[in-house]
C-alpha cells in the first residue's frame, strides 16, 4: 500500500450525525479491486494515523459501508506504564482492513472493563466492558478471507469498530457514571485501577 500523504486526511464525523447511527451496507467483494475503495482505505489509514487513533470505521468519514481499519503499535501506547499496558493486554496489532466483519465472542474468556474513547466523541472517555477474546471473520482489502482470534486490547478495538458498522457508539455501552473529560481522566484516573473510579464515582465494575 502506498504511504499515506497528509492530503489524504479526511474530516471525522462526530456523534449527532445520523451516518453514525445507521447500520452500514455490506461491501460487494468485487468493489475491493476498484480505485475508489483502495483510495478510501489509504485515506482512512492516513486519518487514523493523524488523529492518532487505533481504529477507524468508514461511517466515521461519512461513508456508510462495512469497512474498518485497525492498527496498534508502541508509539500509540507510549503514555502508558508497563503495568497499565499489561493490564490492558495491549499488544502490537499490525495494520489491517476488515470488510464485512462478523465477531464471535469467546465467552469462556470473560470480559474486561477499561477506559475507551472514540474519535467521533471528542473530549470524553469512559469505562466499557468488552469481551476479552473474539474470533473475527471478515474479508481483507484484497477480498481474501480473514479468520483470526484477537485477545485483550486488539479484541477491544475490533469490537469498538464493528459496533460502528452496526450504528452503535461506545456511549451505548459505557458505564455512564465513569464518563470523564480528557482533563479529568488525566488528573484523577489515569494509571489507577478502574475499581478506584468505581468507588469514588458510584458504580459497579461490570
Ligand atoms: Ni469510535
pLDDT digits (tens, 9 = 90+) for 66-84: 999 999 998 989 988 888 8
Which residues are known catalytic residues?
A: 161
Break the chain into its structural domains and give their ranges: 2-201
CA distance 156 to 95: 15
Nearest Cα neighbor of 93 from 32, 173, 161 is 161
Helices (H), 51-100: 82-87
Q: Which fold has domain 2-201?
A: Peptide Deformylase (3.90.45)
Residue 87 CB partners (closer than 8 Å, separation 6+): 114, 193
- The protein residues having their C-beta less than 5 angstroms from ligand 1 (an ion) are 118
pLDDT digits 0-9 by tens, 92-132: 999 999 999 999 999 999 999 999 999 999 999 999 999 99
pLDDT at 6 over 90: no
CA of 58 to the centre of ligand 1 (A): 10
Laid out side by side, the sheet with 145-151 consists of 55-57, 67-72, 93-105, 133-139, 145-151
CA of 162 to the centre of ligand 1 (A): 9
Residue 51 CB partners (closer than 8 Å, separation 6+): 12, 119
pLDDT digits 0-9 by tens, 85-96: 998 999 999 999
pLDDT digits 0-9 by tens, 27-67: 999 999 999 999 999 999 999 999 999 999 999 999 999 99
CA of 116 to the centre of ligand 1 (A): 9
CA of 82 to the centre of ligand 1 (A): 25
CA distance 137 to 30: 18
CA of 77 to the centre of ligand 1 (A): 17
Amino acid at each position: 500500500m502506498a504511504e499515506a500523504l497528509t492530503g489524504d486526511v479526511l474530516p471525522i464525523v462526530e456523534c449527532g450525525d445520523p451516518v453514525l447511527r445507521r447500520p452500514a451496507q455490506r461491501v460487494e467483494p468485487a468493489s475491493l479491486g476498484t480505485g475508489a475503495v483502495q483510495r478510501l482505505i489509504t485515506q482512512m489509514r492516513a486519518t487514523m494515523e493523524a488523529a492518532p487513533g487505533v481504529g477507524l470505521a468508514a461511517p466515521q468519514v461519512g461513508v456508510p459501508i462495512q469497512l474498518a481499519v485497525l492498527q496498534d503499535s508502541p508509539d500509540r501506547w507510549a503514555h502508558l506504564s508497563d503495568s497499565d499496558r499489561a493490564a490492558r493486554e495491549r499488544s502490537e496489532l499490525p495494520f489491517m482492513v476488515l470488510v464485512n466483519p462478523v465477531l464471535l465472542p469467546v465467552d469462556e474468556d470473560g470480559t474486561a472493563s477499561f477506559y475507551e474513547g472514540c474519535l467521533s466523541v471528542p473530549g470524553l472517555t469512559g469505562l466499557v466492558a468488552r469481551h476479552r477474546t473474539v474470533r473475527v471473520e471478515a474479508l481483507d482489502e484484497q477480498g481474501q478471507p480473514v479468520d483470526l482470534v484477537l485477545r485483550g486490547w486488539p479484541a477491544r478495538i475490533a469490537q469498538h469498530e464493528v459496533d460502528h458498522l452496526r450504528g452503535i457508539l461506545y456511549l451505548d455501552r459505557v458505564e455512564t457514571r465513569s464518563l470523564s473529560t480528557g482533563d479529568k481522566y488525566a488528573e484523577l484516573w489515569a494509571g489507577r485501577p478502574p475499581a478506584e473510579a468505581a468507588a469514588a464515582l458510584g458504580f459497579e465494575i461490570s
